[in-house]
Amino acid sequence: MKDPQRALGWLAAIGLAAGLVVAFGIAPREATQGNVQRIMYLHVPAILVAYLAFGVVLVASTTYLWRRAAGADRLAHASAEVGVIFTAINIATGSIWGKPTWGTWWTWDARLTSVSIMFVIYLAYLLLRAMLEDREQAARFAAVLGIVAALDIPLVHFSVYWWRTLHQPPTVLRPGSIPMDATFVAALTINLAAFALLYGYFVAKRVRLLKREQEVLA
């Protein structure tokens, strides 16, 4: 294929369509929560991909500070932006899921609070980049923030173990087997793969745009 970014986009679109078919057509109705549990196929992949995005920000920021490679800076910028999008989806869908199951849209529970802090930190990261006019300075400051901000990722993930929370413990990233029927796991895996492909597509597109912006506006 001539354009790998375009191919990735098509793969992501096919993956998302397959994810919808599996989530609504193949995965069974959950016995306790009913059909509202189908929000899980959106909510869980969104946060896992956000973890991936912010992990990439950490690696790219470290690389930038070490090698001063402009490409690493562009990757960190793009990945943070896409990570914020997926975190926003996770928070919004969690709130929508919380209302019928917990009886509230929002509660200051450790998981919800820590994920909101993570969202705000990465928003601040993007604001910092937008505010500083000197590109080199913006890249350097953002790289430091990108490394410090990653400390919040384990806090988000382990918050359900460290504090007593309304939110359930992790379903996927946990020691031992996943406590779900194979059909639910398959539906979740397909949606996770689709979201990961979409992440790859968005980041590739954004990195290319950032490079072009720097060339055109130089």
Partner 1 sequence: MRDNWSFVFAAYGLAALVLGGYWRRLNRRERELAALEHRRGAARAELRTRPSTPQR
Task: Give the footprint of partner 1 on this chain (CB under 8 A).
Answer: 20, 29, 32-36, 38-39, 42-43, 46, 82, 85, 88-89, 92-93, 96-97, 99-100, 198, 202, 205-206, 209, 212-213, 216
Give min distance, CB of 21 to partner 1, in A.
Answer: 13
Nearer to partner 1, 140 or 205 (CB): 205
CB atoms within 10 A of CB 180: 15
- From the list 150, 132, 140, 172, the residue with the least C-alpha distance to 83 is 150
| DSSP 8-state secondary structure symbol assigned to residue 179 | S
CB of 50 to partner 1, least distance (A): 13
Work out the burial of residue 5: count CB atoms within 10 Å of its CB; fewer than 13 is exposed, 13-18 middle, 19 or more buried. Answer: middle
* Rounded least distance, CB 165 to partner 1, Å: 21
- Reduce the DSSP state of residue 30 to 3 states and report it: strand
Least spacing, CB of residue 142 vs partner 1, in Å: 19
Q: Between residues 27 and 143, which has the closer beta carbon with respect to partner 1?
A: 27
CB-wise, 112 or 143, nearer to partner 1? 112
Q: 42 or 192: whose CB is closer to partner 1?
A: 42
Find the shortest distance in angstroms from Cβ 111 to partner 1: 18
**Judged by CB, which is closer to partner 1: 52, or 143?**
52
Which of 67/99 has CB closer to partner 1?
99
In angstroms, the Cα distances linking 38 to 76, 88, 95, 138, 170 are 32, 18, 14, 41, 17
Residue 201 Cβ, how far from partner 1 at the closest point, in Å? Answer: 9
Own/partner pairs for 3-12, CB < 8 Å, 24+ apart?
4/204, 5/201, 5/204, 5/205, 5/208, 8/197, 8/200, 8/201, 8/204, 9/201, 9/205, 11/197, 11/201, 12/194, 12/197, 12/198, 12/200, 12/201
